[in-house]
């Protein structure tokens, strides 16, 4: 078998794997894997719960507006997780004012980097869908919930409505 024939077979296999083998494998596995505990039961038509995860570092200029934007979202089962990554400005103070909000989970961490904060926040979330956002991005949501839960786009859509000015 020549090298060109081998490469052609490999390319054909990759295409077949991408469009046939992988999707069929996922469908097969989904029939046998139990949903994780606490997830929405599709049979009763519940909306899946959604967690918005946001890491902040020295975001005193936008923290209040970000929380107000979150509170304006009316999706049922929505919870926001905000982590301050060792902020040295008033970010922690602003976040502390909202610590009593039951739909808002606020954590302060020592300065370790955005990825570590996001990972810690995601690990503490138990919602069905995780949405990651920056502190300076505001969103509005549109709901596409139908009785037929087979459509992957029906659950929750966020639409970027404004990006606040970047700062150092």
CA atoms lying within 13 Å on the CB side of residue 127: 24
Report residue 139 as tokens: 């969103």
- Which residues on neighbouring strands pair with residue 85, listed in sequence order? 109
Each residue of 140-160: pLDDT tens digit?
A: 755 543 334 444 444 455 555
pLDDT for 119 equals 95
Each residue of 91-137: pLDDT tens digit?
A: 999 999 998 888 999 999 999 999 999 999 999 999 988 999 998 88
- How many of the other CB atoms lie within 10 Å of CB of 144? 11
**Average pLDDT of the residues in 42-61:** 82
pLDDT for 44 equals 54
CA angle 116, 119, 120 (to 5 degrees): 85
Domain ranges of the chain: 1-32, 47-163
pLDDT for 17 equals 93
Report residue 53 as tokens: 């995860």
Instruction: Say what percent of the chain tops pLDDT 70.
Output: 77
**Inter-CA distances, 18 with 24, 114, 127, 148, Å:** 10, 33, 29, 26
CATH architecture for residues 47-163: Alpha-Beta Complex (3.90)
User: 11-46: buried (b, 16+ CB within 10 Å) or exposed (e) per residue?
Assistant: eeeeeeeeeeeeeeeeeeeeeeeeeeeeebeeeeee
Lowest average pLDDT, out of 1-5, 35-39, 62-66, 87-91, goes to 35-39
pLDDT for 38 equals 53
pLDDT for 155 equals 45
């Amino acid at each position: 078998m020549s090298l060109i024939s081998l490469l052609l077979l490999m390319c054909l296999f990759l295409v077949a794997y991408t469009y046939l083998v992988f999707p069929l494998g996922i469908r097969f596995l989904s029939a046998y894997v139990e949903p994780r505990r606490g997830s929405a039961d599709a049979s009763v038509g519940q909306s899946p719960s959604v967690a918005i995860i946001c890491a902040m570092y020295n975001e005193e200029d936008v923290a209040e507006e970000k929380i107000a934007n979150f509170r304006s979202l009316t999706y049922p089962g929505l919870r926001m997780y905000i982590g301050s990554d060792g902020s040295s400005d008033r970010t922690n103070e602003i976040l502390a004012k909202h610590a009593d909000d039951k739909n808002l989970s606020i954590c302060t961490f020592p300065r370790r980097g955005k990825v570590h904060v996001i990972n810690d926040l995601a690990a503490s979330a138990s919602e069905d869908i995780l949405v990651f956002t920056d502190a300076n991005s505001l969103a509005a949501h549109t709901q596409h919930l139908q009785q037929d839960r087979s459509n992957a786009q029906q659950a929750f859509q966020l639409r970027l409505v404004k990006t606040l000015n970047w700062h150092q």
